[in-house]
Structure 1
Amino acid sequence: MFYRLNPFPLFVFALSCTPVLAQNATTLHVVDAQNKPVVGALVQVNTGGGRWLDKTEKTDANGRATLDLPTVGSEAFPTKAIVVAPGFAFYGAVVTGPKAEIQLEKGTVWRGKVVDAEGTPVVGATIAASSPDIDTAARSYQPLNSSQIAAAFTAISAQDGSFEIKDVPLKGLNYTVAAPGFISLKGETVPSANAQISLTKGAVLTGRILGLDGQPLRGIRALTRIGELSFKTIEVETQADGTFRFDTLPPGTYDVNFQVPKDAAYLVPGLAKVRVERGVTAEPIEVRAVAGVVVKGVVRCPEQDGPVSGASIWLSGSQYPGRYPQKIGTDAAGNFAVRCLPGKIELNVLPPKGYLDASSSKELTVTAETPEPLLFNLRKMVSLRGTIVDANGKPISAAVLMGNYSEIPLRIASDQEGRWSLDATSLSVQEARNALTGDEDEDGYYETMSPHWLDVTQPGEVTIRLQRKNWLVLPGRAVTSKGQPIAGVKIKATFSHSDPGSGLPG
């Protein structure tokens, strides 16, 4: 038994990928357990970039739904699909080609009650079902990320705490429960008709924000994160009396950041390392707005001798707790103005598409005096062209991939004479900084000899040199623990590798 291994494997492809704009048709054929078409099933997909497409399709009279996608799914970058239909359990599939067969199973009803620690019903709790992360030869489940689909598997608890969600998988599901005043809960269960979910009261963090004149400020956004490394943000707004209240927090220490209207002539300093305990409501923390200092600047491109609009300026510093950097954009004249709290700050510029940063970061100590305007210079990307050649310098028809680790790679292909071109003026700064890696086909793959990176700011001819290599072949044998051969075993092998000199991890 022989297995073909790719010495330029999935790991490296995952490190070099950007969106492809061409549209491709992907057809899903949805049937029931008797292989009869399921008509009217709702299909929604997720492509390599991790974003659920806004559009959905319903299966036709033959049980088929065709979606026009940015790329066709593959083993390296699969398309993930969610399929739901009345009377059937929701189904998550991984699609690795232009067509896929999906067989739905009958679902069941999940019923239960939400109560507090004393057994009292919790009214108005939100219960959301999703599928467990199971990857088997038969199917691969995905979370119900689509809002349109997720709504069908979300319930609100009634006066007696009861809830009901239909068409969930018999084998099991994941769920989340959230209710005002309680800590959100995640769990996994096999659906039943008498489930009981118990919630715990949350710790409380309250405060009051006053303006420069000492009057309450309404509509200020207060934000905090749960967990030191968590990206889950909880947000509340101040009321007419300037108060805000978090009451769903697990006990712990929190940073709180405040966001004011863009045209506000003040800032609200954040709170750092506020400790809260379950069952203890501390005195509200009073926070006063400050005028701050306005820092101005301009973003320009020396090659064009002109301003750059649409650039983003990010402001961060120790006086901004909670890892919430401020962001502001440049206007048509390349100008920006940002109100800052006193202290040491760092400003970074994120260029718009078609530009690279030449001086992207500046540190500044903000005092009561207005500082001199800052200057950020960007470099303009250009259109590139050149030739792809083999190890002997002969022009060849081949391709290289350019991109990052999370999306579909940008493919730069040459014609029969080895000629290629790339319009870098539409690339983002992240896309432009990606390494070049060789493409593959059924017979082998290409290793990039030089260059490993493209300088997208320098016009002129670029020769990309590739070396052709064959697939490695790994012999193997599947046996039991007693050494008996096993037929029909599906074996999948992956490993990491990088082109020499590319700077990518091996």
Structure 2
Amino acid sequence: MRRPLKRAAFIVLGLVLLGLVVGLFWKEAPSAPESEAARASSQPASREAALPGRAPVASTPPAPGDLSIRGVVRDAQGPVAGAVVLATGVDPRETLSELPAEQGGLRGLSPPQVVQWYAPASALFMRHVAAREGDVLVLARTTSAADGAFLLEGLGPGTVTLWADSPRGAAVLRQVPSGQQHAELVLAAGHHAEGLVVGHDEGPLQGVLVTAIHLSLGRFFDTVTDAQGMFRFEPLPPGEYFLVFTKPGWLSEFFSLQELYKFNARTTLERPRRISGRVLQGGAPAASAHVQLTDNGHLWETQTDAQGRFAFDELRESSYVLQAVKEPERALLTLAFRKDPMESLTLELSPPAFLEGTVSDEAGAPVEGAEVEAHGPWRNSAGKVATDVRGHYRLGPLAKGTYGVSVQADSYLDHYSNKNLPEDGSLLDFTLKKIVPVEGIAVDTEGRPLPHLPLQLWRPGAREGSYMVGHHRRPNMPVTSARTDERGAFKISAPTPGPYELATDSSEVRLTSMSVVAPAQEVRFAVNRGLSLAGVLMDEAGKPVQGAQLLSVDAAPPYHAGEVVLTDAEGRFLLPALSEGSYLIYAWYEGDRTLREVSTRVELRRSLSSPLQLRFEPGHSWTGWVEDDQGRPLAGVTVTLDRAQDPAEPEVENALLVAVPGITVLSGPDGRFTFHHLTRATYGFRFEKPGYMIRLPRDSTVVSQSDFSDALTVHVSAGELRFVLERDEDKEPEP
């Protein structure tokens, strides 16, 4: 059984959390005399239990010491009084930033990787946060004096992380040794995260605890949604963050801060759902039957009680597969919320089904060692076997139901078939076609092998084509694909003999293709690695910008765009797989109510050796406000700012419009919204609120309106603008 972590310094941390929960709406405290404001007492933090999944360990709180840290808090205007200064440490066994992903931790993860967590690990992470487990240890706390000075006492040997929080900004300083007497915390603008939380079919939710977790350092920041369901963190110290939303009676939600910026700043929580029922065997309750519930990525398990009953709680609206097993009998049921009943279900166990048959080639010869696998919903494996020397297989036991059955064997094309058991019978034979191989090695222009290079085989002329699906055009797909091995060798299978195009779309090399005729051996696929363009991106103050995105676009038709790359902690970037010629280099940063941009033209030559220097301009802030047709301010309107297309370079801008999705803010209680660091005169705006539609302003600042009624192109250089949303009779308002 899991026990929540406990801290001996409960009173101190309780006060800290109370201050955080009020929403980080900081109020500058009057300066105390330096002898008081620059001093702090600290108590060691302790924890009594290990995190779930690991044996309890003896609590080892950091020993109080006689070391101290002195320093000053300042910003660009000078010393900052009244800033809250913390010294924090970590417990490598418990702090989430120190734990690996499989234990529900964040160590070494970036936001895209966190989103792709293995489902049980992400669920464990959510339980840690809901139980307030895994936060950093607060070792000392104080407030800066009138001259910005601070003193943290009672520290033991080692290093700590220093934090400063103030209405004028936030700062974080890593790896500060205890005993340091000249620490300097320089406040930056930080992150100004805000959003709206609504309940599914229930409108705005008050009292949702929103926790922002610093991804690399592990500190928790808390705020609570107000009566309108809105929350705000202002400011958060620099870094990458993960947001977790929890409220009793609702399922928790989580995503990265970047996702909050990129999408609509709106989070929807769901009520927990329940699936329950009974398992019967011969019409009688089946006690101790093993019951599994799966969706696309999650697994829940339980056993039936003496009456054959089972239940699964805390579920989302989704599609599920329910399976009961009491050897040798089993039952299978597929469910979908809002379509099927979810409670008082009955699973009747029945004797298992088996699938068997023979796998042979086109000449009738048996294929030994072929892998035959049965797939349930979402292609989850229900079992697999290999054929024997006679090509025979027997697969099972399987519950009644519909399965996809795949067959794979070396030197043969894959085969796939559907089977409904037991209605379609238990026999299923397969005849496999021999592949037509294209074999060789991929090398660069200097003859060096290229390992793990993705390859595709196309029909001639198909690579640049597309096809229609309904009203949407989709790009053609390759016939098949493969990767080179460690030595750069490859073997790719063509379905029939004839001409093909062998290509790679790797972002690490130049786009390359060659014609081949299958079957083919000893193909030498020569790929141009191209040139790389290194550089660094700074802000207007000369500080490196981390997490900005860069894109290269050919400066001549057809304006091919490269892969998007990110700047590192030092603002450095590397654009690979370029060739000599002219490029337009675009850099942008999304977030903090900001869409920062800079672009330049580069003549790339092999002789170019110095890094490219890019710098964001300060730009300007722009405010608008939203009201209804009665002149009343509208809060919680989702306002999205997009790049407005430049008519002078439409093809180039089309590539950027795909790469740069825009940023989103919410209008406040007074209907106002603000974007910062804008450098263009014209931007696109979209306004969204359930039950409302935008009324086209008559102001000349609106350049055009798209075919969609809520998309406007606006001159932001004209000062503050008023936008009116009116009731849309065709849309349901928010509950």
TM-score, normalized by length of structure 1?
A: 0.54
**1:287 paired to 2:430:** yes
Give the counterpart letter for 1:270 in structure 2.
Answer: H
Q: Is the 8 A contact 1:383 1:456 kept in 2?
A: no
1:259 to 405, 408, 418: 408
Q: How does 1:31-430 map to 2 (within 5 A)?
A: 44=104, 47-49=111-113, 50-52=115-117, 63-66=132-135, 69=215, 79=242, 81=244, 91-94=252-255, 96=257, 111-113=276-278, 124-128=290-294, 153-155=300-302, 162-165=309-312, 168=314, 174=318, 176-179=320-323, 182=332, 184-187=334-337, 195-196=344-345, 208-210=358-360, 214-215=365-366, 217-218=368-369, 220-222=371-373, 232=379, 236-238=383-385, 240=388, 241-243=392-394, 257-260=406-409, 264=410, 266-271=411-416, 280-281=423-424, 284-289=427-432, 292-302=435-445, 304-314=446-456, 325=480, 327-332=482-487, 334-338=488-492, 340-344=494-498, 347-349=502-504, 351=506, 355-359=508-512, 361-362=513-514, 364-367=516-519, 370-380=520-530, 382=532, 384-385=534-535, 399=545, 401-402=548-549, 410-411=566-567, 421-423=572-574
1:449 to 599, 624, 639: 599
Q: Is the 8 A contact 2:400 2:421 kept in 1?
A: no
Deviations 1:88-128 (A, max 9, x none): 9863345749xxxxxxxx99986422579x99989654225
Give the counterpart letter for 1:504 in structure 2.
Answer: L
Deviations 1:401-452 (A, max 9, x none): 2269xx99723688xxxxx643557x99xxxx9973323687965333324x
Q: Is the 8 A contact 2:514 2:525 kept in 1?
A: no
Q: Is the 8 A contact 1:267 1:292 kept in 2?
A: yes
Report the Cα distance in structure 2 between the residues aligned to 1:247 and 1:364, rounded to whole angstroms: 46
Change (3 A) 1:494 1:454: farther
Q: Is the 8 A contact 2:277 2:344 kept in 1?
A: yes
1:472 to 607, 619, 622: 622
Report the Cα distance in structure 1 between the residues aligned to 2:436 and 2:522, rounded to whole angstroms: 12
Q: Is the 8 A contact 2:331 2:347 kept in 1?
A: no
Give the counterpart letter for 1:92 in structure 2.
Answer: E
| Other structure's SS at 1:376 match | strand
Give the counterpart letter for 1:258 in structure 2.
Answer: V
Change (3 A) 1:455 1:244: farther
Change (3 A) 1:397 1:68: closer
Report the Cα distance in structure 2 between the residues aligned to 1:403 and 1:375, rounded to whole angstroms: 30
> Quick check: which has more Rg, 1 or 2?
2
Range with bigger deviation, 75-84 or 439-448: 75-84
**1:439 paired to 2:589:** yes
Q: Is the 8 A contact 1:497 1:505 kept in 2?
A: yes
State the partner residue of 1:23: none
| Other structure's SS at 2:345 match | strand
Alpha-carbon offset, residue 473 of structure 1: 1.8
Give the counterpart letter for 2:116 in structure 1.
Answer: R
Report the Cα distance in structure 1 between the residues aligned to 2:339 and 2:535, rounded to whole angstroms: 57
Report the Cα distance in structure 1 between the residues aligned to 2:525 and 2:413, rounded to whole angstroms: 27
Deviations 1:336-370 (A, max 9, x none): 3345543355544364x8x31441x4454425xx4
Change (3 A) 1:247 1:385: same
Alpha-carbon offset, residue 196 of structure 1: 1.9
Report the Cα distance in structure 1 between the residues aligned to 2:509 and 2:332, rounded to whole angstroms: 46
Report the Cα distance in structure 1 between the residues aligned to 2:574 and 2:604, rounded to whole angstroms: 12
Alpha-carbon offset, residue 281 of structure 1: 0.5
Report the Cα distance in structure 2 between the residues aligned to 1:188 and 1:40, rounded to whole angstroms: 40
Report the Cα distance in structure 2 between the residues aligned to 1:456 and 1:178, rounded to whole angstroms: 61
**1:505 paired to 2:657:** yes
Report the Cα distance in structure 2 between the residues aligned to 1:195 and 1:279, rounded to whole angstroms: 26
Report the Cα distance in structure 2 between the residues aligned to 1:185 and 1:108, rounded to whole angstroms: 13
Q: If each structure's helix is expressed as a fraction of its own residues, which one has the higher value?
A: 2
Q: If each structure's strand is expressed as a fraction of its own residues, which one has the higher value?
A: 2
Deviations 1:451-479 (A, max 9, x none): 4x997998534354755532332212368
TM-score, normalized by length of structure 2?
A: 0.40
State the partner residue of 1:25: none
Q: Is the 8 A contact 2:357 2:428 kept in 1?
A: yes
Greater length-normalized contact order (CA 8 Å, ≥ 6 residues apart): 1
Q: Is the 8 A contact 2:285 2:306 kept in 1?
A: no
Give the counterpart letter for 2:656 in structure 1.
Answer: L
State the partner residue of 2:639: 493
Alpha-carbon offset, residue 220 of structure 1: 0.6
Q: Is the 8 A contact 2:443 2:450 kept in 1?
A: yes
Report the Cα distance in structure 1 between the residues aligned to 2:564 and 2:244, rounded to whole angstroms: 17
State the partner residue of 2:668: none
Give the length in aligned residue pairs: 395
Q: Is the 8 A contact 2:320 2:336 kept in 1?
A: yes
